[in-house]
A and B are shown apart, each in its own frame.
Chain A
C-alpha cells in the first residue's frame, strides 16, 4: 500500500473515532502537543494511561468483591480514572466514570458492579481502537510518510 493511501485510511479511522464519541477534542489537543522535540508524546501518554487504567480496574474489581464495600475507596479510584480518561480524551470512558460515581454516592453495590463492567467495556474498546490507530501510524512512518494533522471543528 502506498503512503498516501495509508494516510487517507488513518484520517478516516480517526474521524470515525470522533464521530462515534470514543474520543473527544482533548485527544486532538494531545496530538497538537506532539512535535519534533516530542515526537512520541501521544503514544507515551496513552501508554501511561493504559498502565494506570489496568491497575485502577484491578483495584476497583477487588474493592467491589469485598464483603463490605468501601465506597470511599471505590469513589477515589473512579475519580482517578475519570481524571485520566478525560486527560486522554476517552470520552465514553469518562462518561461511564461519571455514572459510576453517582452510584458510589448512593452506595449502591449492584449499581457499582454493573458500572464497573460498563467502564471496563468502554476502556477495552478505546484501548483497542487506539492500538489500531497507532499501528496504522507506525505503518505510515515506516513507509516514509508523516502523520497528517487533523483539524476538526466542533
Chain B
C-alpha cells in the first residue's frame, strides 16, 4: 500500500455509534454557526449593548468550536493529513480563544449581575415614588377641598349659613352619609342637635354633655373615631342590617371676643365646644384615612373662627342699634329740654313785663292815695296795700333776678360810684325802720376806704340793704352796727371758706363789710341753710317776719359775681349774729393832674374838625410823608384815603373825593401827565376834584409846570397844620391856590 498521510480514526468505525456522532457533530456545528448569527442579528437590533467586543470574542470562540466540530465530520473516515492539520489548528485556535473568553467572562459576569441588581433597585424606587406621588396627590386634593370649604364657610357672616355650608361641603367632599352639629345649650349641661345634613329639621335631640365619649372628644383637638353606637352618632333609627359606617367626631371651639388675648391666642378659657359628628356611608367598607381626619380638623378650626366672626358682627350690630336708639332718645330729650328752656324764658320775659306793670300801677297809685286825705282806717288799709304790694314787687324782682343769676345771664354793671354814699344811703333807708323797732344803727367807715370805687353800685346797695335789713328783721332790741373797711390779706382768708383765694392786685381792693346785730341769733347747724333758696329756719319768730327766703341766696349770688364771699357767724340762739361779706371793687382812676410851671401852655388836645368829613385822596410813594400828610388831614377832620401808586390812584379816584394831594416828585411817574389824565377823566369842572401838588421843590419851573397841566395848587413839603388848614379853606372857597409856598 502506498504510504498515505492519512490518519486513522481513533477507533474502528462502529457503524451506529459513528452515525450518531456524525449527526450530532453536524448539528452542533450548525448550532455553533447559527448562534453568532443570531447574536449579531439581535445586537444589531438593540440600541445599547456595551460589550460588543466581548461578543466578537464569543462569536469567534463559537465559530471556531463549530469549525472544530465540522472538521470533525471528516475525521470519521479516512482522512488526509491536511485535514488532520486543519483540525489541529482549529482546535488550537479554539482552545486559545475559549481560554481568553473564559478569562474575560470572569471580569464581565459580575458587572452583568450588578446591572441586574441595579435594575431591581430602580424598580423598587419607582414603585416607592409612585406611592408617594399618590400620597401627595391625595394631600393636594385635601388641601384643595379645605380651601374650597374655607372659602365657602368664610364667604358669609351669617351663623346659620356658615354652619349649613360647612356640613354640606364636608358631606360632599368626603362623601358622607350624615354630618351633624351638636351645639351646647344655654345651660351648658347638654348638647343639642342643631344642624344636620340630610334631615332638614332636626328635632331637638339632646344629649348630656358629660358623657365619656364626648369628654374624650372635647379633651383632644384631633378628630377621633367614635363608636357608631354612641348617642351622638345614633340619630336615625337603624334600619335593618346596616353595617354602620365609621364615625368620627371633632370638637369645634366656640370662641368669644374675650378669648382673643394678644399674646396667647387662643386661650380656650371658657371651654365651650360644639360637637361635629361625621358618618361614612354604611356598608361601604370605607375607612377614615389620615388625610380625611386632618381635613376635618382644619375645617373645624375654620368653622370656629368663622363663627366667632359672625358673633362679633352680631354684637357690633346690636351695639350699633342700641347706640342709635340711645342717640334718638337723647336727641329727643335734648329737644324737650330746649323747648322747656325756651318756654321758661318766654314765660319769664312775659312775666317780667306783665307782672311789673300792674305792680307798678298798684304801688304808684297807692302811694299817691297815701298822700291824699284819708281817715285813719283808710290810711291803715292803704298802708297795708302798699306794704303788701312792695313785698310782692320785691318777690317778683327777686325771682326774676335769681333766675337770671342762675342762667348766668346776669352781668354786673360796672361804673364808678361813690362808695361812701352807698353806705350812707343804706343807713338812711334803714334808720326809720330801725327806730320803729327801737334799734340803734351805727355806721363806721374806715379812714382808708376809698371814696370812689368801680363796681356795680345798684347790686352792692342791694347786698348791703339785704344784709342790714335781715339784721333789723331778726333783732327785736339792741343795736346794729355796720362796719366797712378795706380788707388786708390777714382778714381776707376765712377758715370757713377754703376755696376763697383773694388775689391782691394794684387795680382792685377788697371791701369788707360787717353787720353785727344783737338779735335772736342762729343755730350753728342752720347757718349753711341760710343761703339756700327758699329755705327758712322754722322758728315762729322768723315765720312771722315774712320774706320769701330768697334774699340771702340772691346776695350770695351777687357777692360771688363780685368775686367775693359772704358768711354769717353766730354764737348761738339769743346771742345775735354777724353777717360778713367781702367783695372786690376797683380803684377809681385818679384824675389827671399835670402841674408844670415851666411849660408855657398845657392844653388838652382836642380834635379840630374844621373840615368834617371832607373826602381827600393822598398819593405819595414815600411811606413816611404819606402817613404824616394823612395824620395832618385826619387831625383836621378829613376822611382820608391814601394810595402809593398811579394804578391804585386811578382805581380809587372818584367823584366823591373833593381834594387830591399828589406828590409830583414820585420817581418814574410823571405827575404832570397824571394830572392831565385826570382832567380828561373828569371833564366838567365841578365834578373834578381839586388837584394839589405836593413837592419838595420850590423853583419856578415846578410852579409853571403845575399851572400848565391844570393843577389847582402847589404846596411845599413839609406842611404844618395851620398851613394845611388855610390851604384847604382857600381851596374849597376859591378852588384855586398857588401861593402856598
Which chain A residues have a beta carbon within 8 Å of chain B's beta carbons? Answer: 3-4, 7-8, 11, 25-26, 29-30, 32-38, 41, 44-45, 48-49, 51-52, 76, 79-80, 82-84, 86-89, 144-146, 148-151
Contact = CB atoms under 8 A, between A and B. Distances in A.
B720 A8 contact: no
A144 B591 CA distance: 10
A143 to B, nearest CB: 11
Interface in B565-621: 590, 592, 594-596, 598-603, 605-607, 621
Contact of A88 (B599, B607, B624): B624
Contact of B718 (A29, A36, A51): A29
A87 B602 contact: no
A45 B667 contact: no
Contact of A49 (B595, B602, B624, B720): B624
A29 B632 CA distance: 8
Nearest to A85: B624
B601 A52 contact: no
B696 interface: yes
Given A11-B596, A148-B599, 5 more contacts: A8-B598, A33-B632, A35-B607, A36-B607, A86-B696
A84 B624 contact: yes
A44 B630 CA distance: 12
A4 B624 contact: no
B727 to A, nearest CB: 14
Nearest to B621: A80
Contact of B721 (A7, A8, A32): A32
A130 B606 CA distance: 25
Most buried by A among B598, B622, B719, B720: B622
A148 B634 contact: no
B266 interface: no
Contacts of A146: 592, 594
B504 interface: no
A33 B718 contact: no
Contacts of B594: 3, 7, 145-146, 148
18 contacts: A7-B594, A29-B720, A30-B631, A33-B628, A36-B606, A38-B631, A45-B631, A48-B624, A48-B627, A49-B624, A83-B663, A84-B624, A84-B625, A86-B625, A86-B717, A87-B629, A149-B602, A149-B605
B628 A88 contact: yes
Contacts of A88: 624, 628
Given A35-B605, A79-B667, A150 B599 contact: yes
Contacts of B603: 149
A4 B631 CA distance: 29
Contacts of B631: 30, 33, 38, 41, 45
Contacts of B358: none
Nearest to A80: B622
B721 A86 contact: no
B667 A83 contact: no
Nearest to A3: B594
Contacts of B717: 83, 86-87
The interface residues of chain B, by DSSP majority, are classed as: loop
B718 A26 contact: yes
Contacts of A37: 607
Nearest to B634: A38
B605 A34 contact: yes
A107 B446 CA distance: 80
Interface in B626-678: 627-629, 631-632, 634-635, 663, 665, 667
B720 A25 contact: yes
Contact of B635 (A35, A49, A83): A35
A44 B631 CA distance: 10
A33 B599 contact: no
A145 B590 CA distance: 10
B11 to A, nearest CB: 146
A114 to B, nearest CB: 23
A84 B590 CA distance: 39
B623 A149 contact: no
A83 B665 contact: yes
The interface residues of chain A, by DSSP majority, are classed as: helix
Contacts of A44: 627
Most buried by B among A11, A44, A82, A148: A148
B361 to A, nearest CB: 47
Most buried by A among B592, B606, B624, B627: B624
B624 A148 contact: no
A131 to B, nearest CB: 16
Contact of A89 (B602, B606, B718): B718
A8 B599 CA distance: 8
A89 B628 CA distance: 11
Top 5 A-B residue pairs of the complex, sorted by shortest distance between their CB atoms: A35-B605, A87-B625, A84-B624, A87-B628, A148-B599
B601 A149 contact: yes
Most buried by A among B598, B623, B719: B623
A79 B720 contact: no
B628 A45 contact: yes
Nearest to B624: A84
A83 B719 CA distance: 12
A87 to B, nearest CB: 4
Contacts of B622: 52, 80, 83-84, 87
Given A8-B598, A45-B627, A148-B594, A83 B696 contact: yes
A32 B632 CA distance: 9
Contacts of B627: 44-45, 48
A7 B572 CA distance: 61
Contacts of A48: 623-624, 627
A82 B625 CA distance: 10
A7 B594 CA distance: 9
Nearest to A42: B631
Nearest to B718: A26
B624 A87 contact: yes
A84 B622 CA distance: 7
A82 B600 CA distance: 32
Nearest to B723: A29
A71 B720 CA distance: 32
A119 B87 CA distance: 148
Contacts of B721: 29, 32-33
Nearest to A39: B605
B566 to A, nearest CB: 34
A3 B78 CA distance: 178
B696 A35 contact: no
A37 B609 CA distance: 12
Most buried by B among A33, A41, A52: A33
Nearest to B599: A148
Contacts of B632: 29, 33
Nearest to A90: B624
Contacts of B625: 83-84, 86-87
B720 A35 contact: no
Contact of B599 (A32, A83, A89, A149): A149
Contacts of A25: 720
B50 to A, nearest CB: 100
A36 B606 CA distance: 7
Contacts of B600: 151
A79 B628 CA distance: 17
A25 B9 CA distance: 176
Given A79-B665, A87-B624, A32 B635 contact: yes
B93 to A, nearest CB: 121
A76 B665 CA distance: 10
Contacts of B665: 79, 83
Interface in B686-741: 696, 717-721
Contacts of B598: 8, 11
Nearest to A8: B598
B667 A76 contact: yes
